[in-house]
Amino acid sequence: MSFKNNHKTVLNKVFLIFICAALISAPACSSAPSLQKYSAAFTDVFDTVTEFTAYCDSQSKFDTVSAELHAELLRLHKLYDIYNEYGGTVNLAYLNRVCGEGPVEVGEEILSLLKEGVSWYRLTNGRMNIFAGSVLSLWHECRENGEGIPTEEELFEASKHVSCESVVIDGKTVHFTDKELKIDAGALAKGHAYHSVSLLLRDLGVTDYLLNLGGNVTAEGNKPDGKWKIGVQDPDGNGLYTTVKASGVSVVTSGDYQRYYEYDGQKYHHIIDLDTLYPAAAYRSVTVICRNSWDADALSTALFLLSVEEGERLLKQYEAEALWIKADGVAVRSEGFSKYE
């Protein structure tokens, strides 16, 4: 073997090592500081567990965002709370107490929630009704106690005070002409709360995050390895029924397994059908995917209360997709639902 040849081999080796080093270091130098996944869970807002997951460049950045988010969620929780008043704030509990007496001036957020409630009432002929607090509170009380069911008389009496015609919105004031009428905005509050939260997060510069307000998930942006994956529970508790890939949409499930109590061997869940005044029985769960978070929230409850055909008409109107799991376990998908699966 000549000297020349030997020299060449060494050079080849050096060259090879150089190429390898360049290949390894290039992506590291060119890409932005890598994003880390962080998550936080709050248990003190909207009577459910709220999870916030985001990709941030540092723990301290995430903690700041998460603290501001938590403060905003607490504010919204108080605003839409129908059980407690917080001295001074005009919240739903306050309105429920005083709106029967005369017109009350309300803030922008509550005003838009109430107007939304009126339009859903008209759209669904009163099936989806945020002014049915008188009926819902009877069930809420039993659920809190974990026993008993409201009597037929109580329910029938309460059902006389749920008409949206008794709600007079005039400019910035609200007045209930029916003193017994109560608001229960459970079907709309989380969607509306999310709207305020999304503005806050945008201002804070968070673009890729997932917020789960107890069954009400909004996915913005992407994970580094693709879209967010959201599991839809099997209503019988056998793991996941399906998974939905989401980016820039809200995915909301209304299910009979989310809030319920058992009494006398019977399960009573939280979505009340105002025709029967009992928990709606047609479906185990309804999952809605929609660009707009408050439409998604409202649609999931509305679809739970309507027939599949009526629901499909609403979905077309709102450009949304849905998955119904019927009481007999049969699943129905709207035309475009499977493209998210």
Partner 1 sequence: MSKPVLRNIILIVSVLAVSALLFIVFYGGRSAGRSFEITVNGRMYGTYALDKDITVDVDGLCTVSVKDGAVSVIDSACSGKDCVHHKPISMSGERIVCLPNGVVIRVTGDGVDAVI
DSSP code, position 337: G
Give the shortest CB-96-to-partner 1 separation in angstroms.
27
Give the shortest CB-28-to-partner 1 separation in angstroms.
21
Q: Does 130 bind partner 1 (CB under 8 A)?
A: no
> What's the CA gap between 259 and 17, in Å, rounded?
62
Tell me the site size for partner 1, rule CB under 8 A: 33
> What's the CA gap between 102 and 336, in Å, rounded?
47
Give the shortest CB-253-to-partner 1 separation in angstroms.
4
**Contact stretch for partner 1 (CB under 8 A) within 133-141, 163-171, 196-204, 209-217:** 209-217
Q: Hey, is 202 helix, strand or coil?
A: helix
| Residue 205 and residue 227 in contact, taking contact as beta carbons nearer than 8 Å | no
Of the pair 129, 293, the CB lying nearest partner 1 is at 293
| Residue 202 and residue 127 in contact, taking contact as beta carbons nearer than 8 Å | no
DSSP code, position 223: B
Give the shortest CB-288-to-partner 1 separation in angstroms.
11
Of the pair 86, 263, the CB lying nearest partner 1 is at 263
Q: Does 248 bind partner 1 (CB under 8 A)?
A: no
Interface of this chain with partner 1, residues 9 to 68, rule: CB under 8 A: 37-39, 41, 43, 49, 51, 53
Give the shortest CB-210-to-partner 1 separation in angstroms.
5
Of the pair 53, 134, the CB lying nearest partner 1 is at 53
Interface of this chain with partner 1, residues 165 to 194, rule: CB under 8 A: none
Give the shortest CB-155-to-partner 1 separation in angstroms.
25
Of positions 66, 124, 129, 216, contacts partner 1 by CB under 8 A: 216
Of positions 66, 91, 129, 212, contacts partner 1 by CB under 8 A: 212
**Cβ partners under 8 Å of residue 232, min gap 6:** 240, 241, 242, 243, 244, 251, 253, 285, 287, 323
Q: Does 207 bind partner 1 (CB under 8 A)?
A: no
Short-list 323, 329, 281, CA closest to 300:
323
Q: Does 265 bind partner 1 (CB under 8 A)?
A: no
Query: DSSP characters for 53-113?
Result: EEEES-HHHHHHHHHHHHHHHHHHHHHT-SS---TT---HHHHHHHTTTS-EE--HHHHHH
Give the shortest CB-302-to-partner 1 separation in angstroms.
17
Q: Does 230 bind partner 1 (CB under 8 A)?
A: yes
Strand partners, 244: 230
**Contact stretch for partner 1 (CB under 8 A) within 135-143, 190-198, 256-264, 319-327:** 256-264
3-state secondary structure 158-201: HHHHCCHHHEEEECCEEEECCCCCECCCHHHHHHHHHHHHHHHH
C-beta atoms surrounding 186 within 10 Å: 20
Interface of this chain with partner 1, residues 302 to 331, rule: CB under 8 A: none
Interface residues with partner 1 (CB under 8 A)? Answer: 37-39, 41, 43, 49, 51, 53, 210, 212, 215-217, 219, 223, 225, 228-233, 237, 239-240, 243, 251-253, 257-259, 287
